[in-house]
Amino acid sequence: MEQITNSYNLFIDSSRAHDSNSKGDDFLVNLQDAGVHAGEGEIIRMTLDNFSMAKNFNDVNATNNVFRYRNTDTQAVVDVTKNLTPKNYTSYNDLANEFAIQVRQAIVESIAVVNNAVIENPLPATTGSTNKVISFDIRTRDAQNADVAHGLTANNTIIQFNADVSDSYLLLGGDKTFNGDDTTSSVTITMPTTSVIRIVCKYPAQKSTMPFIYIRAPGVLNTNIETKGLRNHASTHKSDTAHSDILGRVVVASDDWVQYTAQTGREFFLDIHQKQLNHLRLKLTDASNRSLPITQFQNTKGNISFSAVIRFDIIKKRHPQHLESEHFVPSVAPRFSNGVLNKLDNGRDAFFKPPGY
């Protein structure tokens, strides 16, 4: 039966650190003076009691805004990476239009006879639409703003959402592809006319791809487990699970704040194998173990930081049982014990004397 023998609360503000290696989202704490240690038969349990930070990053960002446009038609050989503008999109129509703008730019830049292109029929519509599947037409035009044949074929035109690079397949609603795939399109592309290219995504879009922020404690030996996808978002894994450094996760439920308060005190914890905890590192990541999508210096000179309360409980898990035996008590006074004591059949004590004694 577990028994708490001691408890400590650690109050953290990552905006102020004495260590130059500490950042607002990757904080180092020296615990040598705190005396967090476990005795024999005890463990250290670290629990996340409270967490709070301002949500000072965009929903569409470097982790989910990248896609690839590729065409192998003779008239428009091109292979480019395009990025959606990082921001918080207020509607799915805004997101659809931004996607269309980037595709239009790739088409105009790659076809010599095309000087302009018009976005038509963007869906979801501005208002009244319950379908979140993105689609739009690109109408190609010449310098006189007249329709001009683009010369593209559907078989040679692809748009890819590479899951090894970005979560754009979640954001825009398409099939995910992986490194080395040069032929599979994540969306459906058709040519209704010689001057119109139609792009239709396959699944409902999302305005954000980060429902949680994960609080990790790298370097702490513990008993938690995570699926491999939470450690590395690469496409293949040799096993399903691995030892985890995740202390907890917090719901990103607001455009302003990310907050969590424990209800039972056992939601998120780590049972630590170490008998003494001298250093603690707390790092914030997304679900793929990537750093938060922030701008340069935002976590050192800017406004990315967090506050938290971590509770350390010293838990008695077992009572050690030591082997104890009676000390040897000689039956002969030490002054007579110049030989090996032996017991005769008649019960009298005697000494065995070596030959020649």
Task: Look at residue 331 and tell me whether its pLDDT is greater than 90.
Answer: no
Is the domain of 93 the same as that of 166?
yes
Total-model pTM: 0.85
Coil vs helix vs strand at 270:
strand
Is the domain of 288 the same as that of 254?
yes
Is the domain of 53 the same as that of 70?
no
In the chain, which ranges are continuous DSSP H helix?
92-110, 168-172
Is the domain of 73 the same as that of 164?
yes
Mean residue pLDDT of the chain comes to 90
| CA dist., res. 311 & res. 83, Å (int) | 42
pLDDT interval class at 321 (50, 70, 90): low
**The CATH number of the domain where 234 resides is what?**
2.60.120.1100
| CA dist., res. 161 & res. 187, Å (int) | 9
Is the domain of 193 the same as that of 214?
no
pLDDT interval class at 265 (50, 70, 90): confident
pLDDT at 240: 86
- Work out how many domains the chain is built from and give that number: 2
Task: Look at residue 342 and tell me whether its pLDDT is greater than 60.
Answer: no
Is the domain of 49 the same as that of 165?
no
Is the domain of 83 the same as that of 196?
yes
Q: What is the 3-state secondary structure (H, E, C) of 297-311?
A: CCCCCCCCCCEEEEE
- The answer to whether residue 264 is domain-embedded is yes
- The answer to whether residue 337 is domain-embedded is no
Mean pLDDT of 11-25: 90
Task: Look at residue 333 and tell me whether its pLDDT is greater than 80.
Answer: no
End residue of a domain, out of 204, 220, 236: 204
pLDDT at 289: 94
pLDDT interval class at 235 (50, 70, 90): low
**Containing structural domain, residue 238:** 3-57+210-316
Is the domain of 195 the same as that of 220?
no
Q: For 29-72, what is each residue's pLDDT tens digit?
A: 998 888 799 998 999 999 999 999 999 999 999 999 999 999 99
Q: Who has greater pLDDT, 217 or 339?
A: 217
| CA dist., res. 79 & res. 72, Å (int) | 8
Task: Look at residue 325 and tell me whether its pLDDT is greater than 90.
Answer: no
- The answer to whether residue 343 is domain-embedded is no
DSSP secondary structure letter of residue 334 = G
pLDDT at 343: 52
Lowest-confidence pick of 107-111, 130-134, 280-284, 351-355: 351-355
- The answer to whether residue 135 is domain-embedded is yes
Q: Who has greater pLDDT, 137 or 236?
A: 137
Is the domain of 184 the same as that of 81?
yes
pLDDT at 237: 66
pLDDT at 339: 55
Q: Who has greater pLDDT, 232 or 191?
A: 191
- The answer to whether residue 118 is domain-embedded is yes
- The answer to whether residue 357 is domain-embedded is no
Is the domain of 230 the same as that of 199?
no
| CA dist., res. 264 & res. 259, Å (int) | 16
- The answer to whether residue 330 is domain-embedded is no
Is the domain of 217 the same as that of 262?
yes
Is the domain of 195 the same as that of 312?
no
